[in-house]
Amino acid sequence: MTIHFLYGKQDFVKDVRFNNNGSQMTNYSRFDSGIRAGWADRMERGLLRYNLGDLQTRILPGPCGFVAQLNVKRGTERRKPQEILSIKQDFNAEQFNFNKINPDEILFEMIKDSGEEQKIDYQPCKIVVLVNVSPLEFGHCLFVPDPSLCFPQVLTKFSIQVGIESVLLSSDPAFRVGFNSLGAFASVNHLHLHGYYLKHKLNIESLPCRPLLPARGFYTLMGFPAGFLFYTESKDVDVVSSAICQVTDFLTDANVAHNLFMTRGCPPCEQEDRFLRNGVRIAVWPRLASFGIKEESALNVALCELAGHLPFKNKKDFELATESVVIDTIQHYLLPDEDFLQLERQLTQLLT
């Protein structure tokens, strides 16, 4: 029997802080409890392709603060990624999709109870939350807008808004949500977002930003890697989700691959308390597309790597990695500076 997780704005957690020594949670939210208990249950029942265990982790020396983790089994045991040939590739029911999973992998279905707002802003669509059977980290799950509708891997306003709201529903600043477009190392062409817990601070949470259109929550990240940033607190989720969707629609129509990463973070403006995490930062990285079947043993640059979380699939690369080597690898996938600045002008005009 499927569990339904009904939520509203009253469930958003507003007072969140990341401690110096990582996230030390004592009171998980109802959302966290559902994810954590359900995920641990599926792991104990053997539904995951491997036992995750405690991943060997090290912080690479340098200003970027990259969090490197060794996860060999994700490279050897996971399902073979699909061959992606286009950013706007049609959904193919013959290939693996989330209608073909074991029903026991479903943790719950998310449904927002938002009264009249539901009729105006929301498609009649549920979000199915699945355990990721090839996890990156503890609690790794997938958010899939009604799988039966067979959406391709292209963001919608609904999926963006639910991603942001999932971060707001968590009382743990270690909970992150992300998206890989086709051509940006998405492995399955069926609309989904990733969510997982990473109990290490990332620079993206407090990186300084240059304002572009603050009224729409739109900024440029002032640091590596080059990208755009949106920021919202619970009251502005709808407005910011619309702006993000305009940007991702523009990128998709222009055949520009992209990754998103959503995390608790500081407001873009400077503030004294750098550990406060009351709002959500949404990073959007336009990048060069990568097509074909990805090499599973390599450091494939997707949402995690761009955010500063580096899952390595072989011990040698994990042990020898340096910040400069990682920067060179990531830089290979980023847009040239001139193209990025042109895109910045286009998107600012689009959102004005």
CA distance 86 to 206: 34
Amino acid at 218: F
Cβ-contact 284, 269 below 8 angstroms = no
- The catalytic residue among 190, 192, 194, 309 is 192
Q: Phi/psi of residue 5, each to 5°?
A: -105, 100
DSSP string, 45-63: TT-SSS---S-EEEEPSST
Q: Which two tokens stand for residue 52?
A: 């995750």
- Taking CA atoms, 171 is separated from 82, 165, 176, 263, 341, in Å, by 35, 12, 12, 12, 36
Q: Phi/psi of residue 250, each to 5°?
A: -60, -45
Q: Is residue 190 annotated as a catalytic residue, yes or no?
A: no
Look up tokens 């992300």; give the residue.
178
Amino acid at 346: Q
Cα dihedral sign, 166-203-247-298: negative
Active site residues: 192
